[in-house]
Amino acid sequence: MIELIHISKSFGQHQVLHEVTFNFEDGKVYGIVGENGAGKTTLFRCIAGLETASGQINANLEPLKNHLGYLTSDPYFLSKLTGEEYIYLLTDARGKSIKKLDERNIFELPLKEYASSYSTGMKKKLALTATLLQDNSFYILDEPFNGIDLQSSIILTEIILRLKAMNKTILISSHIFSTLKDTCDEILVLEEGRISKSVKKEQFGDFEEEMKEKILKKDIDKLWL
């Protein structure tokens, strides 16, 4: 369980998060959607403790950061470090000893090659593999489906469902609604740093229609089509 109580965050004069309050329950998958700049990544960074924020963040496992796997939207890799070494670095940091890594390389990554030379999708898969092998209780996956191929996307969906079955709490941000529909129990809409709406699984269909109508009306009408 992760409980957010009145989380606010500003960068100078610009307030990015406004009194965000929510309770993420164990064994559930939460989707966070919102336009670019709505505050999704800032919210994730605040939960991870990478940004200081006002308000309170409570978790049933403390300190939260030691039980949290965080996949950033744009993972960074140091040069001259192979994929295998990156995985060992991250799992070792959590005191996990990984055996038979080759067998656990489900995305079939070239682990002996330098990670910095990987394609965008491969980098994401490598970071995801390392985060999963840390065996955390909570996961924050920021745009996990971006840049990865169809096969990997299917694998990732299955992984998220299995993590859920293992009673893990997962927060995902994605701009691909179908992936959220397949994996999430609840979707939170973040607008200008506020949770403007919370949508339960049974309402996903209506929500998708509502979003389509709203967005299309707002934007497409401006084109000549």
Contact criterion met (CB below 8 Å) for 207 and 34: no
Give min distance, CB of 49 to other proteins, in A. 7
Query: What is the rounded distance in angstroms from the CA atom of residue 30 to the CA atom of residue 183?
Result: 8
Our finding on whether 61 is near other proteins (CB under 8 A) is: no
Return the number of the residue (62 or 219) whose C-beta is nearest other proteins. 62
Q: Which stretch binds other proteins (CB under 8 A): 86-94, 153-161, 163-171, 192-200?
A: 86-94
Q: In what order do the strands lie in the sheet with 68-71?
A: 68-71, 138-142, 169-173, 29-33, 186-191, 194-200
Rounded least distance, CB 9 to other proteins, Å: 17
Bridge partners of 32, per DSSP, are 173, 188
User: Looking at beta carbons only, is 136 or 174 nearer to other proteins?
Assistant: 136
Token code pair at residue 204: 């996903």
Is the distance from CB of 171 to CB of 24 less than 8 angstroms?
yes
Kind of pairing, strands 194-200 and 68-71? Answer: unpaired
Q: Which stretch in 13-21, 79-87, 163-171, 187-195 sits in contact with other proteins by CB under 8 A?
A: 79-87
Taking the C-alpha atoms of residue 28 and residue 108, their distance in angstroms, rounded to an integer, is 28
Closest to 121 measured CA to CA, from 138, 143, 101:
143
Whether 215 contacts 34, CB under 8 Å? no
Q: Pick out residues in 90-149 that bind other proteins (CB under 8 A).
A: 90, 92-95, 110, 112-114, 134
Q: Which of 49, 55, 121, 147 binds other proteins (CB under 8 A)?
A: 49
CB of residue 217 vs other proteins: minimum separation in angstroms?
39
65 binds other proteins (CB under 8 A): yes
| List 24, 44, 46, 82, residue binding other proteins (CB under 8 A) | 82
Q: Which of 70, 139, 204, 207 binds other proteins (CB under 8 A)?
A: 70
Stretch 152-211 residues interacting with other proteins (CB under 8 A): none
Query: Which residues make Cβ contacts (< 8 Å) with residue 202, sequence separation at least 6?
Result: none
Of 5 and 93, which CB lies nearer to other proteins in the complex structure?
93
Torsion angles phi and psi, residue 62, rounded to 5: -120, 150
The site for other proteins (CB under 8 A) is made up of 48-50, 65-66, 70, 72, 76, 78-82, 85, 88-90, 92-95, 110, 112-114, 134
